Amino acid sequence: MNMQTSQTRSRAGLAAALRVSISRLSRRMRAEGGHSLSATQIGALGAVARHDALTPGELAAHEKVQPPSMTRTIARLEADGLLTRSPHPTDRRQVVLSLTAAGDKLLKEERRRKEAWLAQRLAELTPEEQSILRQAAPILERLSHG
């Protein structure tokens, strides 16, 4: 068997193993986040946090939902005091969204819980295993971006 075939087979096996672990870890972390908001709401709030001063249309495009769906999500988050709608400086059709202090705090708490859960699991690994994951982390980061 030639080298290319061997590499390809190995890579498919690696992909299969990583797919299962990544999916399961993601599911478990989601379960640890605390359930004050739905995944939809957390997603929208997180996008506003990352790109401040988004319009509803931009947010809908970013979250890959239609504008009317985002209208409802925004209405709920605004009613809960987690984000604010303010007039666009130059275009009176548009609206600008920003996080409130409460929204910011809630997002940070959500992240904190997930990371605390993961950190606890990491603490149960040997130093060698932790070292391997430290090497792997930037690679996974690149993999997730590209």
Residues in contact with DNA by CB under 7 A are 38, 40-41, 55-58, 64-76, 85, 88, 90-95
Contacts with its own copies in 16-55 (CB under 8 A)? Answer: 16-29
Q: Is 75 in the site for its own copies (CB under 8 A)?
A: no
Q: Which of 6, 10, 38, 94 binds its own copies (CB under 8 A)?
A: 10
HSE-CB of 123 using CA atoms within 13 angstroms: 6
Stretch that binds its own copies, among 65-73, 76-84, 87-95, 138-146 (CB under 8 A): 138-146
Stretch that binds its own copies, among 47-55, 67-75, 87-95, 135-143 (CB under 8 A): 135-143
For residue 133, what are its two tokens? 């994951």
Cα gap 33→133, rounded to integer Å: 22
Cα gap 20→5, rounded to integer Å: 23
- Nearest residue to 77 (alpha-carbon basis) of 114, 51, 113, 49: 49
| Closest CB 58 distance from its own copies, rounded Å | 19
Stretch that binds its own copies, among 7-15, 53-61, 75-83, 91-99 (CB under 8 A): 7-15
Instruction: Give the list of residues 6+ apart from residue 45 with CB closer than 8 angstroms, or none.
Output: 37, 77, 82, 83, 99, 103, 106, 107
Q: Decide whether 63 or 104 has the Cβ nearer to DNA.
A: 63
For residue 25, what are its two tokens? 């870890």
Selection from its own copies, DNA, none that 69 binds (CB < 5 to 8 A by kind) is DNA
Which residues lie near its own copies (CB under 8 A)? 10-12, 14-29, 111, 114-116, 118-119, 121-125, 129-130, 132-146
